[in-house]
Amino acid sequence: MGPSETCRRDLRGREKHSRLHTEKPWFRTVGRGFDSRHLHSSHVGRGPVAGSGGASVMRPHDRAWRCGDHTHIDRWFTVLPSLSMTQTRAALRPTVLTALLAALLSVLLTPTPASAASLQEVTGFGSNPGALKMYRYVPDGLPAGRPVVVALHGCTQNAAGYATGTGWTTLADRWGFSVVLPQQQSGNNSSQCFNWFQDADIRRGQGEAASVAQMVDRQLADVSGNASRVYVTGLSAGGGMTSVMMAAYPEKFAAGGVVAGLPYGCAQAAGSPFVCMYVGATQTPAQWGDRVRAARPGYTGPWPALTVLHGTADYTVKPVNMTDLVEQWTDVQGADRTADVSDTVAGHPHQIFRGPDGKAVVETYGIDGMGHGQPVDPGSGTEQCGTAGAYFLDVGLCAAHRLGKAWQLG
């Protein structure tokens, strides 16, 4: 039996979206809780929209959206030999007892994971100069000393949708860590993008960067988190803000994950956020590195490790930005730009660059054929996570899982 009619309508709707999203200025994401708007460079007055309405080239396998796992499993039954009812009951009694004991032992011996909680807003977390909102997810029963992940949404998104779509809350329950989810407000940016391109928001001690740093401090205090195991990641504009946090507050983060994002200081280097997004900035690796070093004068390290995931068919934030991120952070880390590992993961090119001490300092995933969005791999497998939807693209690889493994969260 194939998918239900509802599922088929959903599949057709997603295909239609893929064909038309570059032709239509808007579309509504049913059931996602937000409107996604494709704002072109003519919308300069509203700010860049990295993460909102980006081109998402759909390959044949992209049309195979998981729709409720409509896999029907046949149940095969073994018919017992023809016995009398009394004989059958006598024969089954030891087997049933053994099965019950085995089930009981399984329950008693299996470690109990942290149970599902809910997203909560936190107020009064600091002076909040960037006027952001703070949300967090803390699995019930989470012990002290666990890691903290800061997850920054893309334009037109919000904390709740990003938490679910990426799979970060699922992994938090599975592996035992808490998640901080900053949320932009329309008063700061009409498209709800984090202002990765504004001088006032990307400097240490001011604006949105300072607000996110205050959230980290509040979270560590409230949950007795491990200050040496704080990580930051984000999609698109959130990816740009991830670069900001790594550069401006390197002492707070062990590592970062930039998904379809941009290097630190890119808008300033290019003279325009749109040039940065669509063309890239012309900088040498040393110039890129100098921008990071200038964000935290006098800092001698260690600098956060970086993982980048970017679609090769991203026409909103061009893949050249992944190249620039590699140049920026290998220079900061004192590493060369020759990959020490080049292989594939889930069919996608993967590289690792090691620093002078042999540790991985930069890692990249070029997601073959993927447009603008967060890679997800919906399902119940051990490496699967996320929910397919607008800017959450099912490519058979879950970015949150790959980042979590790089950070040894689970």
Q: Are strands 26-29 and 348-354 parallel, antiparallel or unpaired?
A: unpaired
Which residues does 113 contact at the CB level (< 8 Å), separation at least 6? Answer: 139, 173, 174, 176
Distance CA 396, CA 110 (A): 29
In DSSP terms, 394 is beta-bridged to 376
pLDDT given for residue 79 in this prediction: 29
Asked if 40 contacts 26 with a C-beta cutoff of 8 angstroms, the reply is no
Residues identified as active-site: 236
Asked if 70 contacts 378 with a C-beta cutoff of 8 angstroms, the reply is no
Give the up-direction half-sphere exposure of residue 368: CA atoms within 13 A in the CB hemisphere. 10
For residues 181, 185, 188, 189, the Cα torsion angle rounded to the nearest 10 degrees is 90
SS3 content of the chain, % helix, strand, coil (to 5): 35, 20, 45
Helices (H), 63-206: 85-109, 159-166, 168-175
Task: Using CB atoms within 10 Å of the CB of residue 134, give its burial: 0 to 12 exposed, 13 to 18 middle, 19+ buried.
Answer: buried
pLDDT given for residue 117 in this prediction: 83
Instruction: Tell the CATH topology of 120-406.
Output: Rossmann fold (3.40.50)
| pTM: predicted TM-score of the whole model, two decimal places | 0.74
DSSP per position, 181-194: EEE--TTT-TT---
Asked if 322 contacts 239 with a C-beta cutoff of 8 angstroms, the reply is no
Distance CA 244, CA 207 (A): 11
Sign of CA dihedral 187, 190, 195, 198: negative
What single letter denotes the amino acid at residue 287?
Q
Cis preceding-peptide flag for 81 (omega within 30 of 0) = no
Asked if 175 contacts 138 with a C-beta cutoff of 8 angstroms, the reply is no
Give the up-direction half-sphere exposure of residue 267: CA atoms within 13 A in the CB hemisphere. 20
Give the up-direction half-sphere exposure of residue 196: CA atoms within 13 A in the CB hemisphere. 38
Distance CA 305, CA 334 (A): 12
Helices (H), 355-407: 399-406
Asked if 209 contacts 244 with a C-beta cutoff of 8 angstroms, the reply is yes
Distance CA 282, CA 1 (A): 54
**What tokens appear for 119 in the block?**
């997203």
DSSP per position, 297-351: TT---PPPEEEEEEETTBSSS-THHHHHHHHHHHHHHT--SS-SEEEEETTEEEE
pLDDT tens digits in sequence order for the chain, 410 residues long: 443 443 434 434 433 333 333 333 322 332 333 333 333 333 333 344 444 443 333 333 333 333 333 332 222 222 223 333 334 334 434 443 334 333 333 333 333 444 568 999 999 999 999 999 999 999 999 999 999 999 999 999 999 999 999 999 999 999 999 999 999 999 999 999 999 999 999 999 999 999 999 999 999 999 999 999 999 999 999 999 999 999 999 999 999 999 999 999 999 999 999 999 999 999 999 999 999 999 999 999 899 999 999 999 999 999 999 999 999 999 999 999 999 999 999 999 999 999 999 999 999 999 999 999 999 999 999 999 999 999 999 999 999 999 999 999 99
The total number of residues shown for the chain amounts to 410
